[in-house]
Amino acid sequence: MFRLLRAFFIEFNSMKKTIIIGITLLLAGLLYYHYSLSPKLGIMTGYSAKILCSCHFVSGMDQEEIEAIDLGFGPLWLATNRIDKNSKRVYSSVLGLQKKTAIYREGLGCTLIHDRSIAEVERDSFDRASLQFAASKWPGHEVKPEGALWDAMLQGFDKEGEQVLNTRALLVVKNGEIIGEMYGPGFDYRSKLPGWSMMKSVSAAFVGLLIRDGLLDPDAPAPIKEWKDDERSKISLRHLVNMCSGLDWEEDYTTVSTATTMLYSRDDMGTYAASVPIKHEPGSHWYYSSGTSNILTRICAEALGGHDAFRQYAYKELFEPLGMRDFLVETDASGSFVGSSYGYGSARDWAKFALLHLRQGNWYGQEILDSSWVKFCTTPISESGGRYGGQFWCNGDGGFANYAPNAYWLGGFQGKQVSVHPDEDLIVVRIGVTYDTGTIDFDSLIGGVILAARDQESHENKPEEEVEKAL
């Protein structure tokens, strides 16, 4: 009997240890999921729902192509996505976990939903029917590049059988005129293409318009009510535009950071970005921050009296006079423009915006932006090592050998770039989905385009008899 009891207790203790270990592992797994894995899955499903929604309803692409290319990198393949074309909603989850929903609204594009109800967000609207876009100065057909320019531009596209660059648009403007444009399969000069962080430069233009109209002061403390009584009250609008606010931001898309939390977990991105504490003395430290650009669009909306007033103003004062008829700025669930990331436009729209800056804010005789603001935004600051100005990238550090020191550009995720070359009176738009941006040799590509454009201009300017001799 004693032996049986002893064996029972030994077995019981062994079972108890096993149960304790099992419970401990279960709790550890739950904690890991809650604090580490779940937020990362939320980024994955949030990104998938939002991008699938925008690519389908804004850019007009089909789900298969979007999932193969736009969502064809990293662990995004784990997500299960569904498009409801009737309700214009997109759903995404991973094994039924971290379900995310994005909705499409005409005039506002796609929006990722978090804490607000879908019904509440769907009540917001923007009617583009009354917008009056200026007639385009450019031809109503695709302008094919010729000769050496054709060869130079072709270097920006994948060779037959390759799928590395995934270039969707490449456009060249010389002396204010399109001299060549090329598009990937399924895209053309009216296709709405995402700019990602190229949108930051557009946000700087919004600020410039309000400064022009006396609604904002670039050197006054930024009008954010949450900052009035702490160290952040020293942050000026100019600090924000230059990315020198000193706010404690983490621009990291490989993990759960302030950047990914803002884009994929918050309904009001500008308010979230403004909530972070200060880390550096304003003006003393440069740090690239998407949060800063959403603070800027929040400031613009509040200065104009609300989101709807800001939308009307942005189109009337910028997009309509430039004839950017295909351009669309998407909003977050609060109704605010996502000034950091979500601008969609044709390659020509992006080129027109760049041309406005190349012309120092003047659009065929109409002053849209003050030339001093354009100069401020496109001049590199020392705090950035010469690489950045006011929501524009700059070549002040000589990073691109074939770009002049005064060249500048709008830059976006996956190799999107609209470069402006004042010495050449040249603009080059390149939009694509390139996973490894190291595979795009912008220096070589743009250098080749510059030489070809010079050669074409020289050829066109020769007297007719010289051209005949050359031929």
pLDDT in tens, 230-249: 999 999 999 999 999 999 99
**pLDDT band, residue 8 (cuts 50/70/90):** low
Residue ranges with strand state E in 78-210: 80-84, 89-94, 97-105, 109-113, 167-174, 177-183, 193-194
- 3-state class of 130 per DSSP? coil
What integer is the mean pLDDT of 147-162? 96
pLDDT in tens, 181-204: 999 999 999 999 999 999 999 999
What integer is the mean pLDDT of 63-91? 97
Q: Token pair of 21, please?
A: 């270990």
Mean pLDDT for the chain?
A: 93
How far is it between the farthest Cα atoms of the chain? 120
pLDDT in tens, 371-428: 999 999 999 999 999 999 999 999 999 999 999 999 999 999 999 999 999 999 999 9
**pLDDT band, residue 470 (cuts 50/70/90):** very low
Q: What is the pTM of this model?
A: 0.91
**pLDDT band, residue 20 (cuts 50/70/90):** low
> Dihedral through CA 67, CA 69, CA 73, CA 76, nearest 10?
-10
What integer is the mean pLDDT of 280-306? 98
Q: Are 272 and 51 in contact (CB under 8 A)?
A: no
- Domain range summary for the chain, segments of one domain joined by +: 2-122, 147-241+301-461
pLDDT of residue 458: 79
Question: Is the pLDDT assigned to residue 362 strictly greater than 90?
Answer: yes
Q: How far is Cα of residue 89 from the mean position of the Cα atoms in its chain?
A: 22
Q: Rounded CA gap, 23 and 259, in Å? A: 35
**pLDDT band, residue 110 (cuts 50/70/90):** very high
What integer is the mean pLDDT of 305-317? 98
pLDDT of residue 19: 60
Q: Rounded CA gap, 241 and 293, in Å? A: 8
Output the CATH code of domain 147-241+301-461: 3.40.710.10
Residue type, position 73, single letter: F
**pLDDT band, residue 460 (cuts 50/70/90):** confident
With a CB cutoff of 8 Å and minimum separation 6, the contacts of 86 are: none
DSSP 287-356: ---HHHHHHHHHHHHHHHTSHHHHHHHHIIIIIHHHT-TT-EE-B-TTS-B-TTT-EEE-HHHHHHHHHH
